[in-house]
DNA sequence: AGGCTATGTAAGTAAGTTCTTACACAGCCT
DNA sequence: AGGCTGTGTAAGAACTTACTTACATAGCCT
């Protein structure tokens, strides 16, 4: 989970995830969405995402296609849910107090 | 959201959140849970958490009491949910294909 | 084969993070 | 007032991150 949460902390990587969310995208296609950044920079972000288990890669001839791998967020989701549950508990207590 | 996700990327800060999740804890009490780390280090983490909107502080005489503020995770939860929804969509498509 | 396209990797740099120790300050108690 | 307790802040060191440019490699096409 550590890796996933660290990976997701970067806004560029989150943007990449939003892009591959809707289907496979090639590395170049993704880099094209970040004109302010060099192509290798995007490539490095992709590496981080793959190693964190948040995206899958597959080779297609010349290119590499990246796709979202949502299971990678399972532990992160668990943490957030665990924190979030406090909301529900507090709400419940407030209701019972009435 | 940026701040919250960045804050949550650190394992010490997540541990602090788990601790304050069950109710208010004083700074010193929290620091006591991290014998490997200096007290100021914990204090600095608390500052980050407060600024990210993930915990609340309140003064109680000498001490400062910290408590979880789960609303701070709202945007982060939204992001994860948005990614997670891909799972459901894929599952649905798989079922329909049968 | 030779060249073009798509993409990753290496090396180096600038900036950011996370600690540490030393210090400052507020509140309590006698 | 003066000292103790609890806690934040300052300054700096060590490490990590997110880039950049230059280079390497693999597949496609003629």
| pLDDT at position B6 | 98
What pLDDT does B90 receive? 80
d(Cα B17, Cα A85) in Å, to the nearest integer?
Answer: 13
Q: What are phi and psi of A87, to 5 degrees?
A: -50, -50
When computed from its CA atoms, the radius of gyration of chain A, rounded to whole angstroms, is: 18
Measured CA to C1', the nucleotide nearest B39 is D7
What is the bridge-based pairing of β-strands B63-68 and B25-26?
Answer: antiparallel
Residues A73, B80: C-beta atoms closer than 8 Å: yes
Distance (Å, rounded) from C-alpha B19 to C-alpha B84?
A: 27
**Predicted confidence (pLDDT) at residue B1 exceeds the cutoff of 80:** no
Give the pLDDT confidence score for residue A98 in this predicted structure.
82
Please, what's the b/e burial string for A44-58 (b: 16 or more CB within 10 A of its CB; e: otherwise)?
Answer: ebbebbbebbbbebe
pLDDT, position B91: 84
* Selected residue with higher pLDDT from B25 and B98: B25
Q: Flag whether pLDDT at A65 surpasses 80.
A: yes
pLDDT band for position A97 (cuts 50, 70, 90)? confident
User: B88 in helix, strand or coil?
Assistant: helix
Tens digit of each residue's pLDDT (9 = 90 or more) over A3-45 = 999 999 999 999 999 999 999 999 999 999 999 999 999 999 9
Domains present along chain B, CATH in parentheses = 1-96 (1.10.10.10)
Residue count (chain A): 98
Query: Angle CA(A38)–CA(A2)–CA(B74) in degrees, nearest 5?
Result: 85
Please say if the pLDDT value at position A1 is more than 80: no
A54-63, B16-25, B80-89: which range is least confident on average? B80-89
Which bases in strand D are touched by protein, i.e. have an atom under 7 Å from a CB? 5-10, 17-22, 26-28
Rounded Cα gap, residues B5 and A64, in angstroms: 28
A77 and chain B in contact, CB less than 8 A? yes
Contact A79 B2 (CB under 8 A): no
Nearest chain A CA: its distance from B92 CA (Å): 15
Residue range B45-70, pLDDT digits in tens? 999 999 999 999 999 999 999 999 99
- Three-state DSSP class for residue A1: coil
Q: Straight-line distance from CA A33 to C1' D22, in Å?
A: 23
């Amino acid at each position: 989970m550590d890796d996933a949460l660290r990976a997701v902390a970067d806004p560029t990587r989150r943007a990449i995830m939003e892009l591959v969310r809707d289907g496979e995208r090639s590395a170049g296609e993704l880099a094209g969405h970040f004109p302010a950044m060099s192509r290798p920079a995007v490539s490095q972000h992709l590496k981080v995402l793959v190693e964190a288990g948040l995206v899958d890669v597959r080779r297609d001839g010349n290119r590499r296609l990246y796709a979202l791998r949502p299971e990678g967020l399972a532990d992160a989701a668990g943490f957030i849910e665990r924190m979030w549950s406090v909301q529900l508990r507090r709400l419940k207590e407030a209701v019972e107090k009435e």
